[in-house]
Every structure is written in structure tokens, then in C-alpha cells.
Amino acid sequence: MTRFSSALAIAEAIRTGKKSAVSTIQETLNTLRTQDNDIRCVTHIFESEALEQAQKIDAMRQAGHTLPPLAGVPFGVKDLFDIAGHVTTAGSIVLRNMPPAQKDAAIVQRLKAAGAIPVATLNMDEFAYGFATVNAHYGTTRNPHDPARMAGGSSGGSAAAVAAGFLPFTLGSDTNGSIRIPASLCGVWGLKPTFGRLPRAGAYPFSASLDVVGSFASSLDDLITTFYVMDGSSPAPEPAADTLRVARLGGWFASNLAPALGAALDRVCASLQATNTIELPEVASARAASFLITAAEGGNLHLPRLRKQAEEYDPATRDRLIAGALLPSSTYLQTQRFRNWFRQKIHEVFQNTDVLIAPAVMGEAPLLDEPTIMVDGKPVSARANLGLFTQPLSLPGLPVLCLPLKNTGTLPLGLQLVAAPGREAALFSIARALKNSGLAGCVPLPEKELA
């Protein structure tokens, strides 16, 4: 069975001949076809292309060639990554008549060069504008831990496919939290690398100032291995965890936490001997700036189509994009000036700290039929507020690893580990220490969801 296998275990089985790439891909395709009815994370399956690539890998092995590191490993992509020969729809019907992509997205090319095989596109909020993966065109992706609850978004299909054990790793994108929120709600590892580090070529844009491509994985080693493949670099040495200066983010990031999340955060900080608490300045404005930049850039991007075919958009997406397109230029420019101010403050923080710890989402996944969360004692829209802790950290473009907490006695909860730009290796070191201490790891599905 390939279900719930890690990418590295699958690659090892194929490399040593315990399993063929073709049988691995056949099993994966069968899982996607038969097990996704309750989750609905898959939007398209690349059956013939995937099997063709698998046959080439088996032929390479039979010919005695050395296989690349991810040979035969299946993966899925958020429905905004170009796959050659396929129309990239970005979770919408608006682009359905566009020509097929001429080539694969840049990070897909790098993964394929390492032997990995894209097998499916995965559901998302239309044009990545949302935190729920409730899609008027392609349906709602449900949380594998409890199908009555949100998977989170906008990369919800990618997180759910890993949580359900369908795929060992998947690709997503994060503008305001679209990797970190579904990773947290689905209990899997997620990585939003430093802004600008991974190439975005072939990923359908949303907000050029904030968009980052990244990944989800069921194991930390898979997350790290696939990151360096996508980065086109050799793995950097991880600094020893006990040499890193770790602090907890307070103030904005210490309010509105579910009790189990607060307790887990305390355990994590105790394990790392992180006694310092740091408050970032003007967090509410940083979140607002992120929100406004996204709205203005998304609205501008879609304005030509909104003039002609607004009725084809999901009404909720359409109204958000139009409101963004109507923002005055002075407001947009002020947010971009604020961004530079905030960047300077963030760099000051990292002069004395290596890794910051913050909650990813305030609690468990909201119910789909009651999509509210509590903020400052009041029920508010989950779709608008799940990014409370992720949006302020989007603005400075920092690398953030979303870490699934273990043994919380609840549905999945996640933390954000945040480092200075380009210091992903520090995140990997702290994440590894927490995994080794039993505090972090992909959250297994309850028995009833596996039946």
C-alpha cells in the first residue's frame, strides 16, 4: 500500500526494487479515484501522463541507471500550478477556455527532474481568495479528521490529500496564510518559504507582492527534502537546536487561543527552554496592510475580466475582487510604505532572536455549517478571520514552517515557526527537535475516518 507512505519510503522501495513505479502510481490513482468521495480534494487526475512517467522510471532501473532521489513518488498540485498540456483553472471556470499550459510550472519541473510524478490537481478557493476551500465550481473540500469541518484554505485540497494519506506531499501557495491555515487544521507539515526564494513561474498569480509557493508533507523529512529539490540547492547544514535563540510571540499572538492550544504552546516553549516573549509592533496594521495589498492587487489582476464576465465568478470572490479594484491608489501606496517600515522592525527583532513561535490558527477547524470562530469573545466569520495570526507574518515575507502538534486531545492544531529571511534551516532544526521530543508530527486520522 502506498497510502500513508512517506515520499522517501516510496522512493526507497522503488530504488531497491521492492516495488515498481508503475504499481505505485496505479495504487495511488486507484486511491484517488475510490477514497476521495467524502473529502473531495481532487479536481483532475493525470492518469496516462503519470503512468507514462512511471514506466520510464521502471525502464531506467531495469537498464541499471541510478534513479533520481524522488523517482516514482506521486504528488499533487494546487489547481493553480501549470501542468503542460492542461488548462490551469485556478479553482475557477473563468479561465476554462484559456489554452493549455505550454510547460510545467518551474517547481513542478524541478520535482519531475528529481523523479517525482504529478498525479492530480487539488481543490482550492477560487483564485486562492479564501481560507475555506469552499468552491462554488468544484465543491467543498472537507477535513479528513472530521468531514463536517473545514479543511482550511485556500490550498485546502493539498492539505487534505496529505492528511488523508492519499499523497505523501503536495504543492500549495500562500499569500495570507493559504498553506499555514490548512496545514494547521488538517494536522500536516506545511512550509511557506521566504518570499522570492522559490520560483513562481507557472503558478497562477493572486497578489504579486505576497504570493509564495510551497508545500505540504506527512513527514518532516519529506518536507525538507522536497523543499531543497524545489529550491535547486543542496541541503544547508541545520544549526543545533540548542544553539538557536527561540522566543514566543506575545501580544496579538497570545490572545484568542483555544485552551488546548495555549497549553501545547507552553509545552513547546518549555521543551525549547524558550522563556523570552517578544511583541511585534503595529501587528493590527500589518495584518490590515496584507489584507489591502491582496485586495488591491487581486482586484487589479482580474479587472479586465470583471468588466466582461463578472457573473462567471463565485459571487463571494467577485465582490471581494471588485472592492479591491476600487481601492484608492493612496491607500495602496501607504500599505507598501508601511511594509518597508515593518520590514525594518522585523529585522531588528532578528538581531537578537533566531526563531519565533506563534499559533497558526486560534483553534480547531470550524464546522462547515457553522463557519464562525471566536475573536475577542464574539463569533466572527471564519472565512474572514482564520488568518488572524498568519496575515501579519505574510507582510514581511518571512519563512514560516507550520508544525502539527501531537497529543493535544483535540482535532489538529498547529504552530508557526518563523525565521529571518533565508533561514529555513533554522526552522528545520527546531521542528526536528520538537518532532524528536514527541510534541510535533503529522496527526493520524481517527479510526472511524479510516474505515
Partner 1 sequence: MTAPSSDQENLVRARATAIELELSPTCLPGVLRNSALLAHYAKLVEQHPLPDTCEPAYEYVP
| Residues designated as active site | 78, 154, 178
Listed as own residue / partner, the contacts of 371-378 with beta carbons closer than 8 Å and 24 or more positions apart are 371/132, 371/150, 374/256, 375/256, 376/255, 376/256
Element (H, E) at 121: strand 117-122
In the complex, minimum distance from the CB of residue 286 to partner 1, in angstroms, rounded to a whole number: 9
Taking the least distance from each CB to partner 1, the nearer of 63 and 284 is 284
- Residue for cell digits 522585523? 346
Task: Single out the residue of 72, 202, 397, 412 in contact with partner 1 (rule: CB under 8 A).
Answer: 397
The residue to which cell 527537535 is assigned: 433
| Element of type H or E holding 217 | strand 212-217
Q: Interface with partner 1 by CB under 8 A: which range of 105-113, 176-184, 235-243, 277-285? A: 277-285
Residues 6+ apart with CB under 8 A from 32: 42, 45, 119, 120, 166
* Binds partner 1 by CB under 8 A, chosen from 169, 189, 216, 291: 291
Residues between 403 and 442 with contacts to partner 1, criterion CB under 8 A? 421-422
Residue 333 binding partner 1, by CB under 8 A = yes
Of 124, 105, 125, residue with least CA distance to 116:
105
Q: At its nearest, how many Å lie between partner 1 and the CB of residue 327?
A: 6
Instruction: By CB under 8 A, name the one of 280, 292, 355, 357 that touches partner 1.
Output: 292
Query: Residue 48's Cα: distance from chain center in Å?
Result: 27
Q: Rounded to an integer, what distance in angstroms lies between the CA atom of residue 438 and that of residue 392?
A: 29
Q: Which stretch binds partner 1 (CB under 8 A): 64-72, 199-207, 278-286, 408-416?
A: 278-286
Beta strand residue intervals within 238-395, DSSP E = 246-249, 276-278, 355-359, 372-375, 378-381
Contacting range for partner 1; rule: CB under 8 A; set: 237-245, 367-375, 393-401, 434-442: 393-401
Whole-number Å distance between alpha carbons of 68 and 206: 33
CA distance 153 to 173: 10
Q: Which of 288, 367, 375, 425 binds partner 1 (CB under 8 A)?
A: 288
Q: How near is the Cβ of 106 to partner 1 at its closest, in Å?
A: 19
Q: Does 276 bind partner 1 (CB under 8 A)?
A: no
Q: Is residue 196 involved in binding partner 1 (CB under 8 A)?
A: yes
Closer residue to partner 1 in complex, CB, 41/306: 306
Element (H, E) at 285: helix 283-309
> Per rule CB under 8 A, is residue 236 in the interface with partner 1?
no
| Residue 389 in the binding site for partner 1 (CB under 8 A) | no
Specify the residue for cell string 457573473. 311
- In the complex with partner 1, the residue whose CB is nearer, 82 or 211, is 211
- Residue 279 near partner 1 by CB under 8 A: no
Residue 151's closest CA among 121, 178, 120, 176? Answer: 178
Element (H, E) at 397: none
Q: Write down the least CB distance from residue 194 to partner 1, Å.
A: 6
Q: Closer to partner 1 by CB, 309 or 352: give it.
A: 309
Q: Which of 44, 112, 248, 318 binds partner 1 (CB under 8 A)?
A: 318
Any contact of residue 331 with partner 1 (CB under 8 A)?
A: yes
Number of neighbours of residue 196 by Cβ within 10 angstroms: 12
**Interacting residues toward partner 1 by CB under 8 A:** 194-196, 209, 282, 284-285, 287-289, 291-292, 295, 303, 306-307, 310-311, 315-316, 318-320, 322-328, 331, 333-341, 343, 384, 396-398, 421-422
